[in-house]
């Protein structure tokens, strides 16, 4: 039981690590909701004196320069420096950070797949294309006879719109009876012409 729990925790941890990219703050660094005066808030990790701020409760001097590293897998701009007094900080709990990043990946069309080298973020559209290509390859490799073979219906299963055996029997009898009547009528007409009475002269 302990082994199963350990494996589950390791899998969850490796999947969580896939949320983070090289340009983001590491998973174990606290993040903050940062507000620079006059701008919309965003989430980031902080560096002070070239080191990551690892304790969110530490007070930073107002005049100290901090490096702000935006916490987003889709943000490409370089970190920027600013004085502590020019930004407002609000701590973000690790669980909320993880949930925010998961939602960010999903809203950009990504999902996570386990590969031989660990969990990877993959575009959902790419997964659909790969599945389609796989189906097409399997269809192309199927034997030619199987591809053009008509589906076989079992005795119990009838084709849609098929008539029941009783109705088919009645139709066949009707066709035979109609043929007999038409033949009898034609024969009567032919015999009547041959046996027509002609007066003697």
For position 48, what pLDDT does the model report? 95
Nearest to 101 by CA among 17, 13, 10, 14: 17
| DSSP label of 84 | G
Alpha carbons 11 and 66: distance in angstroms, whole number: 35
How do residues 137-157 score in pLDDT, each as one tens digit?
888 887 755 555 555 555 455
Regions of the chain where pLDDT drops below 70: 1-16, 144-163, 193-201
**What are the tokens at 114?**
């386990």
Neighbouring residues of 119: CB distance < 8 A, sequence distance ≥ 6: 14, 15, 17, 18, 112, 113
Alpha carbons 175 and 178: distance in angstroms, whole number: 5
- Domain residue ranges of the chain, discontinuous segments joined by +: 2-92, 109-146
How do residues 104-139 score in pLDDT, each as one tens digit?
998 988 888 777 777 777 777 777 878 888 888 888
Alpha carbons 46 and 25: distance in angstroms, whole number: 8
> What 3-state DSSP class applies to 121?
strand
């Amino acid at each position: 039981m302990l082994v199963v729990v350990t494996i589950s925790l390791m899998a969850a941890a490796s999947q969580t690590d896939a949320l983070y990219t090289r340009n983001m703050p590491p998973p174990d660094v606290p993040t903050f909701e940062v507000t620079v005066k006059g701008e919309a808030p965003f989430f980031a990790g902080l560096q002070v004196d070239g080191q990551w701020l690892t304790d969110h409760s530490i007070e930073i001097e107002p005049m100290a320069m901090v490096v702000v590293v935006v916490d987003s897998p889709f943000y490409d701009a370089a970190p920027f420096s600013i004085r502590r007094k020019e930004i407002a900080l609000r701590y973000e709990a690790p669980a909320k950070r993880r949930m925010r990043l998961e939602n960010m990946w999903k809203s950009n069309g990504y999902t996570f797949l386990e590969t031989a080298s660990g969990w990877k973020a993959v575009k959902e559209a790419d997964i659909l294309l790969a599945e389609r290509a796989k189906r097409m390859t399997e269809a192309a490799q199927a034997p030619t006879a199987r591809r053009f073979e008509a589906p076989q219906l079992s005795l119990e299963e009838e084709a849609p719109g098929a008539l029941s055996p009783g109705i088919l029997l009645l139709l066949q009898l009707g066709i035979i009876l109609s043929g007999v009547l038409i033949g009898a009528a034609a024969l009567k007409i032919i015999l009547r012409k041959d046996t027509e009475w002609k007066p003697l002269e």
